[in-house]
Amino acid sequence: MADLLSLFPVVSALDADGTVVVGGCRADALGEEFGTPVLVVAEAALRARAREYAGELSARWSNSRVVFASKAFPCTAVQRVMVEEGLGLDVAGGGEILTALKAGVDPGQIVHHGNAKNDEEIAMAVDHGIGLVVVDNSDDVDRLEATVPEGRTQDVLVRIIPGVTANTHAHVLTGHTGSKFGLSPDQAAPLIKRIENSRQLRMQGVHVHVGSQILDVEPFAESVAPVARLGEFPVYDLGGGLGARYTWADSPPAVGAYLDALIGAAKQHLPAEAQVIIEPGRSMVCESAMTIYRVTTVKRGAVTFVAVDGGMGDNLEVALFEQRFEAGIVGRFDGPDPELVTVVGRHCESGDVLVDGIALSAPAVDDLLAVPATGAYCFTMANNYNGNRRIPVAFARDGHARLVVRRETWADLSARDVD
């Protein structure tokens, strides 16, 4: 029980009857109020993590900025929390620009990424005064120079492939030789010269990112020297990628340990007066949320399948990244008659598995199942497979819960049809 509870947001506890309580709200009450499935964010935990990152970074490098990698949880309410806590926002597409602006961010505090930005996104970035556009290729430069009005300039960074292969899933590696993101140092050098000679663009610095769900600090430190060799610039964006704790077997570095390694390398290789930016995403939001499902079917045979009313429509992490999750029956985390089961979703795919091989206490139809560590990449990759309606998001804090994203309606599913 203690192991499972430790995976829920830091403000979680068990009520007298064993029901998990997140942000002061009982899981069963949340399921009743918002229906299931529902993604619940512990707002206090989210804010505490943002403050931890900002404080730990500024203590090590005074001229620094934390920008939240919005793609991890591009919900306007989550972005608004980050803005209220003084963070900037990292966006990777036009929709994320719009939600970031709706969240109230200063456009100058936005960092805009993308390996294949189109004309519309470039125009949005320029029109809204986005602070930094991360150039991923020469085509970005062509589009920017064709878009920035005469008499104006756009600040840019150039994304560099550092040639660092981190120990993580291949689908979330980004800093290795052959990555689709960025340019090798040899490719980047002439592009940097071109930008420095551009009338419309202002070369501000370089960007590097080695991947996601990285559970050791060495790759982060190793990525600094390759970008430092390209020259001295006002800004060095050192990316994100720190892993989160999904299961009790995971031991991600603490934020302080991660920054000790990263900023230690920065102090060794970068100009002391430069600004350092970091872009935490997964590790900022993953552990601040849980998803509550209702058991719809229990089928015992060669394998005992416990099917719930959600699945890969609201959590693609298992299918895409083979990510392990844990789960417990609400009110019976450590209950009697534990049974080894596979938790599956309702979608018409054999790969629609939420947890393969987990002990649950006497699972039965209508039980509630709580899955922790669902704050990263679950909301953002939610989909309508099999006519699935995307699930709601609720914030819980001090015993009160509020809806921040409603559940899709049946009408929503056909709203874009024109015939």
Range of the domain at 25: 2-42+287-414
For the chain, what is the total number of helices (H) and then of strands (E)?
Answer: 14, 20
Domain total of the chain: 2
Query: Rounded mean pLDDT of 95-122?
Result: 96
What residues form DSSP beta bridges with 411?
Answer: none
Strand-strand pairing, 38-42 and 88-91: unpaired
Show which of 254, 285, 316 is a domain's final residue.
285
The gap between the terminal CA atoms of the chain, to the nearest Å, is 53
Indicate the angle between helix axes 119-127 and 138-147, nearest 10 degrees. 50
Q: Are 229 and 331 in the same domain?
A: no
Q: For residue 307, what is the domain's CATH number?
A: 2.40.37.10
Do 204 and 217 share a structural domain?
Answer: yes
Average pLDDT over residues 90-112: 97
State whether residue 387 is helix, strand or coil. Answer: helix
Of 334, 331, 350, which Cα lies nearest the Cα of 342?
A: 350
- pLDDT band, very low/low/confident/very high, at 181 (cuts 50, 70, 90): confident
The predicted pLDDT at position 166 comes to 66
Q: Are 222 and 162 in contact (CB under 8 A)?
A: yes
C-beta of residue 343 within 8 angstroms of C-beta of residue 303: no
Q: What is the CATH number of the domain that holds 228?
A: 3.20.20.10
Task: Check residue 11 and give its pLDDT.
Answer: 81
Q: Which of 227, 251, 285 marks a domain boundary?
A: 285
Reported as a pLDDT band with limits 50, 70 and 90, residue 177 is: confident
Give the count of beta carbons closer than 10 Å to the beta carbon of residue 257.
14
Mark whether 286 is an active-site residue: no
Could you give the residue ranges of the DSSP H alpha helices within 197-316? 218-222, 224-228, 255-269, 282-285
Q: Does the structure show a pLDDT above 80 at 346? A: yes
Is residue 308 scored above 70 in pLDDT?
yes
Q: Which amino acid would we find at residue 284?
A: M
186 exposure class (CB count in 10 Å sphere: 0-12, 13-18, 19+):
exposed
Q: Per-residue pLDDT tens for 347-400?
A: 999 999 999 999 999 999 999 999 999 999 999 999 999 999 999 999 999 999
What pLDDT is attached to residue 1?
Answer: 57
One domain, residues 223 and 86: yes
Contacts of 26 (CB under 8 A, 6+ apart): 15, 19, 20
126 and 266 assigned to the same domain: yes
pTM of the model: 0.95
Percentage of residues in the chain with pLDDT exceeding 70?
A: 97
Q: Does residue 231 share a domain with residue 342?
A: no
- Burial track 209-221 (b if 16+ CB lie within 10 A, e otherwise): bbbbbbebbebbb
Residue 343 lies in a domain: yes
User: Which band of pLDDT confidence, cut at 50, 70 and 90, is reported for residue 180?
Assistant: confident
Give me the mean pLDDT over the 53-70 stretch.
98
Higher pLDDT, 405 or 249: 405
Residues 150 and 67 in one domain: yes
Q: Is the dihedral of CA 209, 210, 213, 219 positive or negative?
A: negative
pLDDT value of position 216: 92
Does residue 192 sit in the same domain as residue 325?
no
Catalytic residue chosen out of the listed positions 25, 75, 286, 348:
348
**What one-character-per-residue DSSP string does 53-75 give?**
HHHHHHHH-SSEEEEEEGGGS--
Q: What is the pLDDT of residue 290?
A: 98
Residues 102 and 147 in one domain: yes
Instruction: Kindly report the average pLDDT of the chain as a whole number.
Output: 94
CA atoms within 13 A on the CB side of 190: 4
- Which of 228, 283, 232, 230 has the alpha carbon at shortest distance from 253? 283
100: its two tokens: 């970031």
Integer Rg of the chain from CA = 22
Q: Is the pLDDT of residue 172 over 70?
A: no
294-304: pLDDT as tens digits: 999 999 999 99
For 336, other C-beta atoms within 10 Å of its C-beta total 7
Average pLDDT over residues 129-152: 96
Last residue of a domain, one of 285, 317, 337: 285
Residue 419 belongs to a domain: no
State the Cα–Cα distance between residues 104 and 82, nearest whole angstrom: 10
pLDDT exceeds cutoff 70 at 58:
yes
Q: Give yes or no: residues 232 and 365 share one domain.
A: no
The mean pLDDT of 42-60, rounded to a whole number, is 98
Q: Are residues 79 and 226 in the same domain?
A: yes
Residues 243 and 303 in one domain: no
